[in-house]
Structures are given as structure tokens and as C-alpha cells.
Structure 1
Amino acid sequence: MLHVDGDPEFSEAVGRFLEREDDRFDVTTAPDVSEGLASLAERDVDCIVSDYDMPGRDGLEFLEAVRSDDPDLPFILYTGKGSEAVASDAISAGVTDYLQKERGTDQYAILANRIANAVEARRYQRLFTERTRRLETLIDNLPGMVYRCRNVPDWPMETVEGEVESLSGYTARELERNEVKWGESVVHPADQAETWETIQDSLSADGTFEVTYRIVTADRTTKWVWERGRGIDEADGDPETLEGFITDVTEQKRRERELRRAREEYGALINGMNDTAWVLDIDGTILAVNDAAVETMGYSREELRSMRPHDFDIGLDEAELSELIETMPTDGIQVFETVHETKDGERIPVEISSSLIPYHGDTVVLSIARDISDRKEREEQLERFASIVSHDLRNPLNVAQGHLESAREERDSEHLEHVARAHERMAALVDDLLALSRAGARIGDVESVDLGATVDHCWQNVATANATVRTDIDRTVRADPTRLAQLLENLFRNAVEHGGDEVSITVGERPDGFYVADDGRGIAEQEREEVFRDGYSTAAEGTGFGLSIVEQVADAHGWSVTVSDSEHGGARFDVVGLESADD
């Protein structure tokens, strides 16, 4: 607080007493109005106590100067030379309190009490003003109206605020004057009795209620509204007044009706499928599931509709689900493998095939989950079998190769060369067998791959003799880099095996993929369907598995591979369906 008085000794004595009286007080003094105003400019104060008769300007002039900057700052005129005229002028100027100086120290206790009351009153007023502002802001931004009404069947309104007219078509004035009564003229006639009973039953239970009903607006439009409120002013246990909030839910009701219709229609669309099938909204909401999904997953239809795919897909989270839907091709099928967990905790490996389909003006996602447990088991069995076979073949093959080297040291014979080539063919067969069985139709993590750099790297890994490669490609694609390298290396080996040691190979770019072409002897048209079959080869040294691996890698990515004549009469392999990393 700031105490301004022309008697510095008196000011100090008052200050000491006030600070002893209440430890919240921190008193600053000033001898006149000029220094008082200067002190106010330097610090914030909660209250001013000022004498009236001072050198220069008097206390009323000080009050007027203060009020011009802060109309609400507590100002107590504490003077020994006051009069009724001074008191009247002070009140007119907006003084907070007026107190005459008296003899003795009791007056200081009164002053301290007046100061504390004035400061607390201002704080409460500020708090009330802020709460009122916040409430008004909240009401202004609510999508509906707040009200207070009498709890009788026609619900006459006492106060209404908010979006009253946009909600009901009536003005707040019409409702507050009861020119229009909510329960009689606004609530739909068919809903009046049921709404009244529902609210009264809820009030009897816990004093609050929530209810949805129809209203008829001033222009005779029917709307659905949701209301929440509570009873107040109870007499004999029955609330006499209600306070609450009402908002328009017509659009929500329309959406619910459409969702029910869509679920019925989507259900009819997919129920005949043997595989588990789902229809999703583009935000990932499950709209419908078929009977197979209910039977397989162990959840009821209602439970599945309330879930999201990542709730039972242990290989998927919400962010990944959103990304899958956002990147889904508009004219193709998105295929990936994952694992579904049933209600009983059983985990089922599945292959998901999803596509965007138009249906009644909407775009939805149709997902079909095929159980691939048997396929996974066969792949594991094949891998175990291939590992055993390759192990049992490699050991005797290594022994034979060792004896062959010893035989070459002892004698030189053309028969030994035939033996060496046979060993090399056996080793190649074992390698290709392992590649087929271990890779299978699976791919690893897909990432952005520089296709040109991958071509150069793969060329270094292939025994190419005097063959050459020209790379005319500059793009980044989405692929499993290991499997893509496997595809390219097998295409290079195929070109060298069938085109000769000096064959020229070109890797070029297509809008949707790439091609590998050579100037060798080519592949006859009648053989082109056969070249991708396991074990088929026209080269004496070939294993017949290289192109089968190429097709398998392409299929695993969702690509396709075809063979035709190259520009120079050799073979050309086109790999299409690739996704550019920049797409």
C-alpha cells in the first residue's frame, strides 16, 4: 500500500502500526501528491491511503489523478481536516472509503480493517469479472444454448443464452417472456411425454439427466437435440428448477442412420465370402464384417465393429494403418502379410488383400484376410528340407572337389575337366535350391533403393567374363534391397549363360519399372512361357532356377516380369509395377 501524508513522522508511525497489525501489509510513504504519483509509476500497489490537506495538490486532486488511470484501485481518504463537503466530493470522485483521523491507536486498527476489506473486495470483484468473462466466452462458443427453466411439463424458460435462435428459430426474448414455451411449443409433440418421464426418472435417481429428443423450430423444421442438465432448488425432494445445455445433433443422427444402412449393405456384400472380410471407412473405422470374421476371430459382430484393425492385428499400429490407407492404390490391390490375434489369444498368419471401392457415392476399403497357416508351415518344412539336402550334398561334394584337386596334381586328363564342371553345376543347383526355399514368396523390409547404384553393385557380384553392362537409369524405388539384388544378379547370369562371354547388356528405365536387355541369341517365342518354370533351362550349364527366382522376387513385391525380343535381337526382360520412392 501507499500512504501519502504531509506529516512524514505520522506516516511512518501509521506504517509501522499497520505492518505490525497485519503481516500482509507492506507500506510505502510519500509526503505529497507529486511524490505519490511518482511512486505509483514505479511500483504496483493494492491500496492508497491519502490525507486531504497536503502541500501543493490536495487529496481529492490526487484521487482524480489516480482514477484517470485506474478507476478501481482502492483509495481511502484518511484525513483530520475533513468535512461533509469534502466527504461528498470524495464520494463523487470515486473514493473507496472515507475515514477521519482521531486520537489514540484504536483508529489504526480500524484503518487496517478498512484497507483489508477494500483490497479483498477488489480481488473478489476481479475474480468475479474474470469468471463472468470466461463464462460468457464459453457460452458464446458453445454449439448450442444454456438455460434455466421451471421444472414443469411445459418447461417455461427463465434465462437462455448462446445459439438460441440458430438452434430453435425463436429469440431469447420470446423464450424468456414465455411467449413460446419449450416443452409445449418446441419439443416435438410425439416426444413430449416420453422426454418428460425420462428427465423426471433421471432426476429422481441422481439429480442429473441426459436425453435426446426432437424439436420443431419456428420455421417448422424438425431437428434432433441432445440435452444435459441438473435439478436445483429442491423442495420435498423434487427440483423446482432445471439448469442445462441443449445442442443440435441432427447431423450425428443422420450419420448414425447412414452408418446402420451402410453396415447392412456392406454386410450383404461380403457375407458370402469364405475368407475373413472387412469393410473400413477411410479413417479406419470398421463398418462391416462378415460371418467368417465373427467365427474366426471369436468376437461378436458388435465387438468387432467397435474395434479398430490394429486392436487385433499385432503387426500393425494406428499410424501404420493410416499410412496403409493413405498409400492404397486407387486402381489396384494392396497385399501384405501380418498376424491376427483372436479373442482367445490364438495367432493366425494372414495375407491381407485390400482395395478402394466406390459404394453408394462413398469410397471404402474392402480388406480380405486369407489364412496362410498351411502355406507358412509348408515354407518352413521346405526350408528345413532344403537345408538338410544342401548339407547332405555339400559334404560329399566338398570331398569330391578335394579329391579332384589331388587328381589334377597327379595327372592331367580331359576327363577331370568334365568332373570339375559337374561339381560346379551341382554347387549351383544347391545354391539355387536354398535361394528358392529360404526366400520363398516373402520379402523383408521395404525401403528406398537407388536402382542405378544397385545395378552397378550387382554387376560386380556376377562372373561376367568379357560381358559389358550399360546402365541408363536414374530413379529410386521402394523395394527389399536384398531381394532386388537377387533378381538383378539372376538376370545378369542368365544373359551371360545364354548370350556368351562377350554379350552386351543394357539396363533401362520404364515409367513403371525397368528392363534388362542383351544382344545375345534371344529366347524363342514358344519358350517364353516356360523359362520361368522351375528347372527349365536351354543352357548346358544352367540350373533352370535363375529365372524362377526372378519371377518369385517380382511376385513377392507385387511386380510382374515379362520376356520379349530386345532391340538387338537378344532377350529383354521387363519388370513393371514398381513404386517410385518419390510417389
Structure 2
Amino acid sequence: MSEAKVQSETVELIEVLHVEDESDFADLTATFLEREDDQFTVETATTADDGLERIDDRRPDCVVSDYNMPGMNGLEFLQTVRERYPDLPFILFTGKGSEAIASDAISAGVTDYLQKGSGTEQYELLANRIRNSVRARRRAQQVDRQRQLARLTEFAGNTGGWELDRKSGTVLLTAGSRRIIGRPDQAEIPLEEAIALFHPDDRVDIRHTLTRAFETGEELHNTWRLQPRDGDERLIEMTITPVVESGGRVTKLRGAGHDITDRKERRQELEKYETIIEALTDAVYVLDKEGRFTFVSDELVELVGYDRETILGSTPSLIKDEDGVKRAEHHLGRLLSSDGPQTVKFEVTIQPCDGASIACEDNMGVLPYEGDEFDGSVGTLRDITGCKERAWELERQNARLEEYASIVSHELRNPLMTAQGRLELAQADCDSPHLDEVGDAVDRCQALIDDLLALAQSGNAVGTAEPVTLSELAEECWQTTPSADATLAVETDQTISSDRSRLQQLFENLFRNAVNHGGGEVTVTVGEIADGFYVADDGAGIPDEERDNIFEAGYSTADDGTGFGLAIVKEIVEAHGWEIRVTDSESGGARFEITGVEVTD
């Protein structure tokens, strides 16, 4: 194998433009070169003008040119090429040899000079000269690129640096830029390919900005959306600096791109939280890990009466009583425990700068942190003084109502008992249907007194919650329900947390309601649902148009009903913090679902 063939294995594809007015000789030269080295591809042009057009359209790796050509000769062609492409390898391959031509060619910047001759040795020599010229240029380009990258990296630092050459239209990329666009091995790309990496809506603005920088020499700034082939869209803040030659012409643009995606997202997140804080009517505070205020909202400053400078850097003992400080420390320990809650809510007493103490609800959580390094806490204070006063007033009203209800109940029961006794005596003396109706009226008055007293008491807060097994309590309540031939079916073994006596009232009223409206042979079912239980029957059901009214006090569709039973049920449900809804049972009867229940098993 010839030396040329061995060398060709290490040389990349070489594109040669041969400018020769004699087409037969041009074809012969192309044949010899491509046969000599299969990495050669040879194109021919018959005139220098045609050759210039080819070079402008697609720049070759090397130009081989004759000297004697019509119009522009080889030397003039060389001079024109040098003006446009100073480093393009150019070999003058001519049959007209003279020292004068050689000297002029060297002065014009010819890469090599070779006379035509007969025999294959001359083509082997030409091939070798072409290879050496291209190899030398590529080495020089590599060195120059490294120097450019070094200057560019120095200019851009660790950001996404790039340099756009105006003449070539190629963009040189630093390692930072290649990392951002996901092309670690591509140091240089065409301008249009670089622009295509950005969002379609930004591309026109990019071109306009680059044109403006070339024309005006201004340093420009803009922000565009980068869409690399691999990865999510990134927001790039770009600074473009023109490189101006001595004549004042901008030949290159250097850019430094900063990925500000995370910064913008953090800013947007911060703005969102600032908006939330501004919208809050509660007082907001932040404590550092030492327990000192680092942030307080305007509402907190207004609440406590101290100026902001006094509060910041102080501990909560400035505004909280001793018990409130201890309570906060206790709940902070809960928050920091491995199985603790995310937030806690508790009552504290705030001692303002001036004036009476303020009852507040403190809603506290810890700031996000990694590892074992606690970073502080955050919380809100809500003034609940008015709420507590209203609660106290409501408790007093409820106590008075219960007292009045008890008095009225007691005062009514005595004359009713007297009436009941006299009625029994009258029935023993004579038989009259009117007396039976009087007896029904007396019984209804007794039932009304019982329900009114229960309704007055049901508004109170529930007592101590305890585990209650639904099946046992339902069976117990059924025994006290006048049920005739009705049947109870218990389909749950749930244990829930509730006030047992109030839950007993609830079952008794729902059972009585089912029997009164469903008939003597009705089947009443107690079952469980996801977060509670239900009581259903297979009676006639409750029409849709009546369901909004059945929980109102005094509303009843039964002739002998008091209309207070379901109102009592609703009061008991709400006192527990539960919810109740009425729907159809599977058999078409009524089904009461109680949800929001704490199930303990």
C-alpha cells in the first residue's frame, strides 16, 4: 500500500475544487486524485468566476487552479480568493512555470505551487500537497478554535458562553453552553441551528437582536426560552457584546447566557407567598432556630403595639405570657418529633404594649429543613377575643334556656299529671270517645315537653368523648323504642369516639322516626360507611321536596308527631362536629348517613 493510502486512513473527507479551463485535463486530474485517495471528492470549474461562485456557495477544503484561463488568470483568481477567504488552501497547478509567476504567487499568499507534468508521479505529488495543506489548515483552525474558546470562556466564565462569526455564520460554544443545550461534544454549530434551539415565538426577536448588535455595536440584553432536545424548557438571560475591528466594523458577537429558570421560579413562588401574606388578615411571624423574631407582618405589629424594630430580634416572651411561651415550646417539640403533625393550633394570651391582654389562636409550623438542622418556625396569630366572648355569652344563653326549659317542663308536668289522673277517673265513671281524644292530647303534651327539653339540652357542647361500640348501643336503644312488630338489623362492628348519652338520644330518635313513619313491621338497619355510619329503613321513604325541611324544629308529616325528633338528631350531630344527610335506602325507604366520625377500630 502506498504512503498516500496509509495517510488517507487518518484524514477526514477532503473536498477539492479544481479550476481548469480544459475540461479533459480537469476530468483526468479528478480521476487520478480520487483513485489516489478515496477520501478525495473533486469538483471542477472551467473559469475563475465559476470557481468563485462555487466557493461562495460551498467552501471547499482546498482550491487547485491553473494559471492560464480566459478572463481572470490564476494569479488574479488567487488574489480575489485571498481577499475573501484568507486561510483557504490554494495550490497553483500550472503548465506555465517561471520564477516570476512563482514569486508573484507567493506574494499573493499561495499555499503551494506545482507545475504540471506527465506521469502519475505528478498527481501523487499533487495529492500529497493537498493533504498536507488541508491538514495544516485544520490544525491551525483547531489551535485557533482553542484560543477562541479560551478567550470566550474568559469572557463568559462558567455561564453559557458563545461567539458568532459574522462571515461564516457559525456559533462557537463554550463547555457551559454545550452543557445547557445538551450537546457536550459539539463545539460549533450553524447559526440557524442554534436559533432553532429556542422557542418558536422567540426566534424572530433573536434574529432582530443579533442584527441590531451587528449594525449598532451596542451591548444588548434579553431573555429567551431555550428548548433543548433533551430536557425541560429553560429561561436564559442573555448578554450580547459586539467585537469591533479597528475599522469600526462588528465582525463577531460574544454572548453570555445565564440559566435563570430556577431563579424565576423561586421569585414567582416568593411573590405568590408574599401575595398570600398580604391577603391574610391574621398576624404572621417567623422565628429563627434560636427562637427570635426574624419577620413580622404589619398585622402583628398593629396587634401587639410594639414597633417592628423592637420586635425583630426579640423572643416571643415580649408579647406572650409565661404559660403561652411554655405551651408554644411544648407544641414545637411535637412538630419536631418524627411522628409529629405538620402544624399545631392552640390558644395563647398576648400581652400588647398597651391595653388589656388579647386571646389569640396560634397556628404554628416549622420551616422546611434538611437533616437534623432545625431552621426555625412560622405561625399566625388570630385575635379570638370576640369569638370567646360570643362563646361565653352563648353558653350563658344556653344555660338560661335549659334552666327555663326545665322550669317550664316541671310546671307543665304537674297540671298535666293532674289532668291525666282526672281523666282516668272520668273514664272509670263513663265511656265516651271524647275522653279518649282528651287522653291522646294529654299524651301529645307529655311528648312535646320531653322533646322540647331534649332539644334545649342538645345545643350544648358534647361531653367527654369515649369509645362506643355501635352494635351494643343500637341494641340497647332498640329495647326502649316502641317498635311493635318492627325489626332491627345491625350490620356493623364499628367502635367510634362520641358522647355516649348524646349518641343514645340520636339512635332513639332515628329509631322512633323510622317506626312512626315506616309502619309497625318496618325493618331498621344500622350499618357502616367509609367515615361514619347510617340508619336506614325499608318504609315509604322521604320525598325529595320534603328533605330540606325535615330537620326543622316542629316539622312533622305524622299526625301524632311532635316535629322535634330529627331537629334533636341534627343538633347532636353538629355538636359532635359530624355531618348528616338523608337519601334513599336500597329498598326505597329513608337512609340517614352520619359522616366525619372518628372510628377508633
Q: TM-score, normalised to structure 1's length?
A: 0.44
Bigger Rg over Cα = 2
